[in-house]
Amino acid sequence: MRLILAFALALFASVAQSADRARDEHSAAEPTVVRISAMALDLRVDFAQRTLAGDVTHTLAWADATTTGPAKLVLDTRDLAIERVQARKGDGRWQRVEFSLAERDAIFGSTLTIALPSRMDAVRIRYRTSPEASGLQWMTPAMTAGGKQPLLFSQSQAIHARSWVPLQDTPGVRFTYTARIRTAPGLMALMSADNDPAARADGDYRFTMAQPIPSYLLAIAVGDFRFKAISERAGVWAEAPVLERAAAEFSDTEKMIAATETLYGPYRWERYDLLILPASFPFGGMENPRLSFITPTVITGDKSLVSLIAHELAHSWSGNLVTNASWKDMWLNEGFTSYVENRIVEAVYGREQADMEDVVSQTGLRAELASLPPAQQVLALPPSPGRDPDEALTDVAYIKGQWFLSFLEQRFGREAFDPFLRTWFDEHAFKSVTTDDFLAFLRRELIAKNPGKLTEAELAAWIAGPGLPETAVAATSPRLAAVDVARDDWLKRRVAVAELDTSKWITQEWVHFLEGLPEDIAAERLLELDGAFRFTGTTNGEIAQRWYPITVRAGYFEARPALAQFLRKVGRRKLIMPSYVALAETPDGLAFASQVLQQASAGYHPITRGAVQAVLDAAAK
C-alpha cells in the first residue's frame, strides 16, 4: 500500500506541475494561435449517396491579430473530400486560398492545412463527406421503427465530428453556430440547436446555437420524427411507433430539470428535448445540448432505467456547460455527471433507488478495474498520443469519478459540498477546464475553508492512484442485500425458484441478482431460472446484457436463438459487447458470433461495428 501511495503522490505531483494539461494530443489544431469562434453550415443531405455536401464558414479569433504576413489555419478532418477553400478579411471579397491534406492516419484522419495571405477573419470550405463517415449512420427504411423513411444520425464524440465537418475537433475549443440543412420534403431535420417543436417537414431547415459548444456536441439527425411535449420547455422527438411510449416513459423529465436547478443553478440552454433513435444507436445517450440523443433500449414501461435521462440532463451542467479541455480529463465530464445523475434520481425517485443504482455501478467498476492496467485506473490520465480517445470510455471516468465526489460530499457534508459544486458550475460556465483547474478550485473553495478534513495524500490517491483508495466507502442498499439473501437461498437449494418473492423487484434488483451468480453455474440451474422468469427473450437490455453472457459460458444453448436476435436488433455497445466477448472465448462461440455480426453489421453504427470486430479479430489470432 505504501508503494501504491508513493506512486500516486509522484504522479499527482507531475499532474500538478503540468503547465500544458489543456493541450489536446488528439487534435492537430493550434488553438493557442487561432480559434474558431463561430461556424455557419450549409449542407444538403443525400440519402441515395449517403453524403452531406456543402459549405462550412468559420469565423476566426487570432491570439495575435496584429502580426502581419502569411498565416495558416490547421483543422481536423477524416475522409472528407475538400473541393475548395476561400478566405476573407472583414466584409471584403472571398478569395481562393491554397490548402493541403496530410496523409491519412487510421485514428486521427487527415490534417487540413490552409495557407492564408494574412490573419484572415473567416474561411469558407466546400466539402463532401464519405459514405463511410465514422460519425454518421445512414439507415434504410427497413432499419427504422416506421419502416417507410430513411434515417440519419450523427455521433461526434469523441473525435468523430471531423468526419462530417472540417473543424478544430477538440473539447478545448468552443464555438457558436448556425446551420441551414436541406433534405427531401417529408423528412424532419434536427440539430443540437434551437429545434422548433412546431416545425413543418418541408425539407429546408435553419438552426442557431447561441451558446458556445465544443465540436463533440455538434449533432444532426434526419428522419420521420414527430414531437410530443412534456412541459413548456421539454419534449420528445421520435418516430411515430415509438413516440407515445417514449413520452410516457420520460414524463418526469421536467421534474428532473427542476430538481437539478434547485441543486446546481439555472438550466442555461432554454429547451431540453429528447430524440429517441433506433436501437442501433451505439450509446445509451448522447448529451447533445438542447437535444439529447437517447436509445430506445431504456423504454421498459416501469421507468426503472430513466436514470439515463438524468445522466444526459446532468451533462447540461457538467460537460456541456463546464467541459474537459482534453479527453485525458474525461472524468471532469463523466464523473461529475454521474454524481449529479444520482442526486437527480434521489430527488425525484428517492434515496432507495439512488442507493441501488450506486451499488450496481460500483459493482461494475470493481469488475472492470480487475481487467484494466494500473495506468488506466487513474482519474487524471497521462497524455496518450497515438491512442484513440474512445478507449478512455471506461467506468473509471464515470464511476470512480462519481465515487470521488461522493467521498468529498461525505467528508465535507452536503451543506458545504452542494454550494461548492454549484459555484464550480457558475464560475466555469461555457469554459473548458483541466484537472489542475479543479484541484486549484477545490483547495481554495473547500479545503482551505474547512481545514483538517482532507489531506493531500488522500487527494492524490483518488486523482492519481490506481484502483480504489482506502477512503472509498462502498454504497449499500437494504433492498439489494435482500436480493443477496434470496440468491443464496436458491443457490443452496434452501428454497425453490418458485418460492422467491420477486413480485416487486425492479431492473436494478434483477441486475444485481444475475451479477451475483457464480461463474461456474450449471446450465440446468439456468433452465430453472429461465422457466420461472423468462430471461431469454427479455426486452430489457440491462437484463439481457447480464443474462446472455452467463448462458454462453454455462453452455445453455437453448438461449442461442434469442441471443442472436438480440444481437441483430440492438447496436448499443454496452449491451451487446459482453455477449460477443463471452462468445469469442471458444471456437464454437467465435464462429457463431462471426455469423451473427455478418447478419447484424449493416444495422450497426461504425463505432459498434469496429468494437465488435476488434474483439473477434483478437480472439481469432
CA–CA distance, 237 with 189 (Å, rounded to integer): 11
In a domain, 321, yes or no: no
Beta bridge partners of 188: 223
CA–CA distance, 62 with 458 (Å, rounded to integer): 41
Phi, psi (degrees; rounded to nearest 5) at 259: -65, -40
**Which pLDDT does position 15 carry in this prediction?**
54
Identity (one letter) of the amino acid at 87? A
Identity (one letter) of the amino acid at 127? Y
CA–CA distance, 302 with 343 (Å, rounded to integer): 20
614: Cβ–Cβ under 8 A, 6 or more apart, which residues? none
CA–CA distance, 391 with 559 (Å, rounded to integer): 31
**Containing H/E element for 519?**
none
Residue where one domain finishes, among candidates 261, 290, 316: 316
**Which pLDDT does position 404 carry in this prediction?**
98
CA–CA distance, 311 with 340 (Å, rounded to integer): 7
**Domain with 526 in it: what CATH number?**
1.25.40.320
**Which pLDDT does position 621 carry in this prediction?**
87
**Which pLDDT does position 391 carry in this prediction?**
81
In a domain, 80, yes or no: yes
In a domain, 4, yes or no: no
Determine if the pTM surpasses 0.85: yes
- What is the set of active-site residues? 312, 398
**Which pLDDT does position 393 carry in this prediction?**
83
Residue where one domain finishes, among candidates 316, 335, 361: 316
311, 390, 398, 425 from 336: Cα distances, Å: 10, 19, 8, 11
Domain match, 615 and 570 both: yes
**Which pLDDT does position 9 carry in this prediction?**
54
Tell me: the pLDDT tens digits for 227-277?
A: 999 999 999 999 999 999 999 999 999 999 999 999 999 999 999 999 999
Task: Give me the numbers of helices (H) and strands (E) for the chain, helices first please.
Answer: 19, 21
Domain match, 48 and 76 both: yes
In a domain, 110, yes or no: yes
**Consecutive 10-residue runs of the chain (621 residues): their mean pLDDT?**
51 55 96 98 98 98 91 98 97 96 97 97 98 95 94 97 98 98 98 97 98 98 98 98 98 98 98 96 95 96 96 98 97 98 98 97 96 96 92 92 98 98 98 97 98 97 97 98 98 96 96 97 97 96 97 97 97 96 98 97 90 96 87
Domain match, 599 and 491 both: yes
Give the position of cell 493531500. 456
Beta bridge partners of 77: 110
Q: How would you write 131-172 as a 3-class SS string? A: CCCCCEEEECHHHCCCCCCCEEEECCCCCCHHHCCCECCCCC
Q: Which of 370, 375, 367 is nearest to 392 (CA)?
A: 375
317, 419, 432 from 265: Cα distances, Å: 9, 10, 19
**Which pLDDT does position 424 carry in this prediction?**
98
Written as nine digits, the cell of 225 is 420524427
Domain match, 151 and 179 both: yes
Domain match, 308 and 332 both: no
Domain match, 496 and 609 both: yes
In a domain, 174, yes or no: yes
As a whole number of Å, the CA-based R_g of the chain is 25
CA–CA distance, 258 with 112 (Å, rounded to integer): 44
Domain match, 206 and 354 both: no
Domain match, 81 and 192 both: yes
In a domain, 17, yes or no: no
**Which pLDDT does position 553 carry in this prediction?**
98
Number of domains the chain is built from: 4
* DSSP E strands, 298-350: 322-324
443: DSSP letter = I
103: DSSP letter = P
CA torsion sign, 563 to 506 to 264 to 277?
positive
In a domain, 10, yes or no: no
Neighbours of 539 (CB within 10 A): 12
Q: Evaluate whether 116 touches 70 at the Cβ level (below 8 Å).
A: yes
Domain match, 417 and 340 both: yes
Neighbours of 387 (CB within 10 A): 15
Q: How would you write 553-566 as a 3-class SS string? A: HHCCHHHHHHHHHH
Domain match, 55 and 187 both: yes
Written as nine digits, the cell of 376 is 488506466
Give the position of cell 463546464. 322
**Which pLDDT does position 10 carry in this prediction?**
55
Tell me: the pLDDT tens digits for 542-562?
A: 999 999 999 999 999 999 999
**Which pLDDT does position 3 carry in this prediction?**
47
- The pLDDT > 90 percentage for the chain reads 94
Residue where one domain finishes, among candidates 191, 220, 249: 220
Domain of residue 276, residue span: 224-316
Written as nine digits, the cell of 171 is 473539447
For helices 351-369 and 478-491, what crossing angle results, to 10°?
A: 60
7, 41, 177, 193, 214 from 206: Cα distances, Å: 53, 10, 11, 10, 20
